Amino acid sequence: MRKVMSTKNKYKAINISILVIIVSLLVFSYIYKESKVQSILEDDLNLNNVQFGLINKHYEVISKNINKFIINDKKIIDIFKQVKDADKSTQNKLRKKLYAQLKHKYDSLKEQGFRQIHFHLPNNTSFLRMHKPKKFGDDLTDVRYSIKRTNLTLEPISGFEEGRIVNGFRFVFPMFDERKEHIGSVEVSISSAGYINMFQNYFSSDINFLIKKSVVDKKVFADELSKHYVESTESSDYYREIISNYSNQNIDEKFIADVKKGMKNGNAFAVYAGANKIVSFLPIKNIQDKKTIAYFSICIDSMHIKHILAVYFIVNIIIFFVFGMLLYFNFKEYKYRKNIDSMSGDVQKYSTELELRFNEQTKTNKELKRQEVYLQKSQEIAHIGVWEFDMIRDTLYWSDEVYKIFAVDKSTFKPDYSKLLQRVHPEDIDKLDTEYVNSIEEKREYYLEHRIVKPDGSISYVEERGNHTFDDNGKLLSTLGIILDITAKKELELSLIELNKDLDSRVKDEVAKNKLKEQQLFAQSRLAQMGEMISMIAHQWRQPLSAISSTAVNLKTKLLLDSFKLDTPESRLECNTYFEKRLGNIENFVQTLTTTIDDFRNFYKPNKKYITTTFKDIVEKALDIIKASLLNHNIEIIYEYNSDKELDLYGNEMMQVILNILKNAQDNFIEKNIENAKIIITIEDSSISISDNGGGIPEAIIDNIFDPYFSTKDEKNGTGLGLYMSKTIVQEHHKGTLHVENTDDGVCFKIEL
């Protein structure tokens, strides 16, 4: 009895151990499946992001061409320039003329996904909507930031924006007459449907456009909302734009929760929607504050996820199958041992037991056969083949699915290692052979991705995994493995690589263009500053030249009046002393002029080398050039030197930045006629602040003063490049920051390195 209890406890412990191992395998299988699904989601999201960027660039180029067509059409300009000064009756006639002039062109653009062409007056009033010609006259200042900014800055702008009727990807351009006078602006808008159609040219997918309710409710005319939007099923905070080819998806609560979580931070994300579907959400930023207000949702059927789930299903089936078999045989062994231990020696009873075991074994064999058929069907579904290489018998076994992957006939093709190598791509044979040998020597899993050549000459990609069995002496007995066709995955990876190469090439081209443009702007800025420098030199020279002239006149007068008596040694000595002193003064004044010229020449030397210096030295050299001009306009300079820290700088470039800021302050004092004008220069370890009491910069334009060609001065007094190049020098050349803020009575510029 004690022996029976011992056997029972032993097999109970074995069953628990088997259960723990199986549960661990199931958990590992689940984690592996989830990681693979997440990787596929990220790959799909990256591909969609790249495609969206290319589509956006495509429409940007077309929009610029449309703008060129409009501004180069003399009839359009002649019509539109009359509008702002015309009465309402005349404006209505001009609107009809403009509509008729553009009708044919607009109809052809609609077929390419362009939603509207919209003309606006300089005061941001809508003049003509080509898609809604009867809607006009409404003030767009508070609802259309892009129009307001373009008419204010006279610079083009582009991006996504909701309108009074529909949303769109806007490209807004200023318009001028032949005298370069501002007459309004024109907007070219592409619908979200245009982007969707471009997407569907590349992918077979369901694409949806979602936009925040708060944005639509605030801007869209009430009678237009129901024509273009319905409630979104993905999120209660969003509308869905009505698109004819949109097919509604089955949406469950988990999907909605995942979408809500992804939308919190406003970035791109992808969600697994079940049934092999991936939904990618691409954020659309507001043109004004760059916040996410809309999304493209792109739903595709993923064969990769289908394969992963099939493999996961097969692996779990195999695990449960092995678990069942182990439990079964363990139970049978337990029963057998129990029966052996309890045998009484009765021959009849023993014979009956043998017969019972035989019958049960027969049933087991039938069950194993059924499980084998089931496993084979599972392999066909997942496109996974099983192979085994028996080293003892030197035989290679393939399951039916392996023959299908290699596209060979099972009835005529007898696999062995040499025939296998004949089907491997010639460039991958050494790699396969090396990996197999190394995995045996290192007693680890065999794993390899390689190419195979099918009988028709086509090439496929496969993934192989295998485990080796060794005897007690470490000799290889056999290898059991699987093979998976991954051709579709590899082709997608290769297409992504080519797409990335093309994108890298475009980025490099754009960088080169921007660098050339920066060099041209830098040269233009230096030329503009040279004129200002000449004016500064004139101020520097005025006092020395005046002193030289006065001294020369004084000497000449003395000589003409014969003021010197030379008849005695004392009088001659007095005359010499007088002349030496006056000529010494003239020499000092000439040296001052020479120093000014040297400062000017050194400033414009093409020296692009770092020098070790201090902010104090740079400021003093800049003041040597401009100080006379500042003092001539009664501008007080206050220094606060709190540090002599040495820095590695491009000396002339940093001097140019400081001169730009000082010259702008001087021009502002002169323009506003400021009394008691002051400039305060404060130097810390790695920063310098330059502030004044000139009244500051209007808040409406302070964020734009570093833009190229932006100037508050008239054209003859400013190029709009000084502060732009100053910021470029500090941030790009010195990796520092240049920022500006208004103070109580003026403005402060701060450079930090």
pLDDT, one tens digit per residue, over 219-275 is: 787 777 777 888 887 788 888 887 645 555 556 777 888 888 888 888 889 888 777
Query: 169 with 205, same domain?
Result: no
- Interval 396-447: pLDDT, tens: 989 888 898 999 998 888 888 888 888 899 999 999 989 999 999 999 999 9
Handedness of CA 95, 97, 101, 105 (dihedral sign): positive
472 lies in a domain?
yes
Distance CA 327, CA 269 (A): 44
Q: Which amino acid is at 675?
A: E
C-alpha torsion angle, residues 128, 130, 131, 134 (rounded to 10): 40
Domain end: 301, 323, 354, which one? 301
Of the candidates 256, 278, 301, which is a domain's last residue? 301
Least confident of 89-103, 667-681, 694-708: 694-708
The contacts of residue 181 (CB under 8 Å, 6+ apart) are 81
* Domain final residue pick, 155, 190, 225: 190
Is 718 within the bounds of a domain?
A: yes
Residues 140, 202, single domain; the answer is no
Over 80: is that where the pLDDT of 544 sits?
Answer: no
Distances, alpha carbon 81 to alpha carbons 68, 154, 178, 322, 607, in Å: 17, 16, 9, 84, 49
Same domain for 353 and 413, yes or no, is yes
Which residue type sits at 525? S
Task: Give the per-residue pLDDT at 680.
Answer: 95
Collapse the DSSP code of 122 into the 3-class scheme (helix H, G, I; strand E, B; otherwise coil) and give the result.
coil
Q: Kindly indicate the confidence band of residue 183, based on its pLDDT and cuts at 50, 70 and 90.
A: very high
Q: In the predicted model, is pLDDT for residue 475 greater than 70?
A: yes
Asked if the structure places residue 62 within a domain, the reply is: no
Closest CA relative to residue 731, chosen from 711, 752, 702, 709: 752
- The strand pair at 610-614 and 476-485 is best described as unpaired
Burial label, 592 (beta-carbon count in 10 A; 0-12, 13-18, 19+): middle
Per-residue confidence band for 344, with pLDDT thresholds at 50, 70 and 90? very low
Question: Of residues 439 and 629, which shows the higher confidence score?
Answer: 439
Residue 273 is predicted with a pLDDT of: 79
- Does one domain contain both 520 and 470? no
pLDDT at 129: 92
Of the candidates 302, 239, 236, 237, the one whose C-alpha atom is nearest the C-alpha of residue 272 is 302
66-92 pLDDT tens trace:
888 888 889 999 999 999 889 999 999
What would the two tokens of residue 358 be? 């035989």
What pLDDT shows up at residue 77? 92
Helix (H, G, I), strand (E, B) or coil at 397: strand
Question: Looking at the predicted structure, is the pLDDT value of residue 629 above 60?
Answer: yes
Task: Tell me which residue has tokens 């200002």.
Answer: 532
Whether residues 212 and 178 fall in one domain: no
| pLDDT, mean over the chain | 81
Exposure b/e, 392-431, CB count within 10 A at least 16 = b = eeeebebbebbbbbbebeeeeeebeeeebeebbeeebeee
Q: How many helices (H) and strands (E) does the chain have?
A: 18, 23
- Residue-level pLDDT at 622: 85
Which whole-number Å values give the CA distances from 143 to 121, 148, 185, 230, 500, in the listed order? Answer: 15, 9, 16, 22, 38
Q: Is the pLDDT of residue 99 over 80?
A: yes
Of 8-17, 89-98, 510-519, 727-736, the range with the lowest mean pLDDT is: 510-519
pLDDT of residue 311: 80
Q: Are residues 528 and 656 in the same domain?
A: yes
Least confident of 37-46, 90-99, 555-564: 555-564
Q: Which residue has the higher pLDDT, 714 or 226?
A: 226
- State the angle between helix axes of 487-560 and 303-341 in degrees (0 to 180), rounded to the nearest 10: 130
Compute the distance between CA of residue 657 and CA of residue 724 in angstroms, rounded to an integer.
10
What whole-number distance in Å separates Cα of residue 726 and Cα of residue 384? 63
pLDDT at 153 exceeding the cut of 90: yes
pLDDT tens track for 682-701 = 999 889 999 999 999 998 88
Q: Can you give the CATH number for the domain in which 692 is found?
A: 3.30.565.10
Q: Determine which of 36-40, 281-285, 527-531 has the lowest per-residue pLDDT on average.
A: 527-531
| Domain membership of residue 696 as a residue range | 511-752
Long-range residue pairs from 597-605, CB within 8 A, at least 24 positions apart, any chain: 597/537, 599/624, 599/625, 600/533, 600/537, 600/625, 602/652, 603/533, 603/652, 603/655, 603/656, 604/526, 604/530, 604/533, 604/652, 605/652
Q: Please report the sign of the dihedral spanned by the C-alpha atoms of residue 309, residue 313, residue 318, residue 324.
A: positive
Domain CATH code at residue 292: 3.30.450
167 and 251 together in one domain:
no
Residue 719 sits in the same domain as residue 667: yes
Distances in whole angstroms, Cα of residue 304 to Cα of each of 259, 458, 686: 22, 21, 55
- Per-residue pLDDT band for 347 (boundaries 50, 70, 90) equals very low
Total of domains in the chain? 4
CB pairs under 8 A, 24+ apart, for 635-638?
A: 635/665, 635/666, 635/669, 635/677, 635/678, 635/679, 636/676, 636/677, 636/678, 636/679, 637/678, 637/679, 637/681, 638/678, 638/679, 638/680, 638/681
What tokens appear for 459 in the block?
Answer: 């090439």
Model pLDDT, residue 355: 63
Task: Pick the more confident residue, 351 or 230.
Answer: 230
Q: Which residues lie below 8 Å from residue 622, measured CB to CB, with a gap of 6+?
A: 655, 658, 659, 662
**139: domain CATH number?**
3.30.450.20
Question: Quick one: what percent of the chain has pLDDT higher than 90?
Answer: 24
Q: How far apart are CA 219 and CA 238, in angstroms?
A: 15
Phi, psi angle pair for 655, to nearest 5°: -65, -35
Q: What is the distance between the alpha carbons of residues 1 and 605, in angstroms, rounded to a whole number?
A: 107
Q: Are residues 237 and 337 in the same domain?
A: no
Amino acid at 527: L
Radius of gyration of the chain (CA): 42
Q: Is 87 exposed, middle or buried (0-12, 13-18, 19+ CB in 10 A)?
A: exposed
pLDDT of 543 strictly over 70: no
b/e 34-55 (16+ beta carbons within 10 angstroms → b): eebbeebbebbbbbbeebbeeb
How far is residue 542's CA from residue 499's CA, in Å, rounded to a whole number? 65
Looking at per-residue confidence, does 614 or 301 come out higher? Answer: 614
C-alpha distances (whole Å) from 703 to each of 170, 706, 707 are 22, 7, 9
Q: How confident is the model at residue 741 (pLDDT cuts 50, 70, 90)?
A: very high
Establish if 237 belongs to a structural domain.
yes
What average pLDDT does the segment 538-550 reach? 63
> Do 728 and 721 touch, CB atoms closer than 8 A?
no
Residue whose tokens read 């003859």: 716
- Specify whether 544 is located in the same domain as 662: yes
**505 domain residue, yes or no:** no
Residue scoring higher pLDDT (189 or 13)? 189
pLDDT higher than 80, residue 554 = no
Clarify whether residues 377 and 248 are in a common domain: no
Write down the pLDDT at residue 718: 53
What is the helix, strand, coil percentage profile of the chain, to 5? 55, 20, 25
Residue 66, number of CB atoms within 10 A of its CB: 18
DSSP-assigned beta bridge partners for residue 465: 447, 482
Q: Tokens 């490049």 sit at which residue?
A: 721
Contacts of 601 (CB under 8 A, 6+ apart): none
Asked if residue 471 lies in contact with residue 491, where contact means CB atoms within 8 angstroms, the answer is no
Q: Could you say which DSSP state residue 744 is in?
A: S
Q: Quick check: is 42 in a domain?
A: no
The answer to whether residues 219 and 80 belong to one domain is no
Question: What is the 8-class DSSP label of residue 221?
Answer: -
> Mean pLDDT, to the nearest integer, of 368-386?
62
Residue 382 has pLDDT above 70, yes or no: no
**Is residue 596 scored above 90 in pLDDT?**
no
pLDDT at 589: 61
Q: Quick one: residue 750, left, alpha or beta (phi over 0 = left, psi -120 to 50 = alpha)?
A: beta
Strand partners, 184: 175
Which strand (E) or helix (H) includes residue 143? Answer: none
Please give the share of the chain, as a percent, with pLDDT higher than 70: 80
pLDDT the model gives residue 465: 92
Token pair of 667 as six digits? 């021009």
| pLDDT for position 682 | 95
Which comes out higher in pLDDT, residue 141 or 498?
Answer: 141
Residues composing the chain: 753
Q: Is residue 501 part of a domain?
A: no
Contact 299, 207 (CB under 8 A): yes
Assess if residue 30 is contained within a domain. no
Sort residue 457 into left (φ over 0), alpha (ψ -120 to 50) or beta: left
- Residue 605 — pLDDT band, cuts 50, 70, 90? low
Express each pLDDT in 743-752 by its tens digit. Answer: 999 999 999 9
- Predicted local confidence at residue 258, as pLDDT: 83
Neighbours of 495 (CB within 10 A): 11
pLDDT top residue among 373 and 265: 265
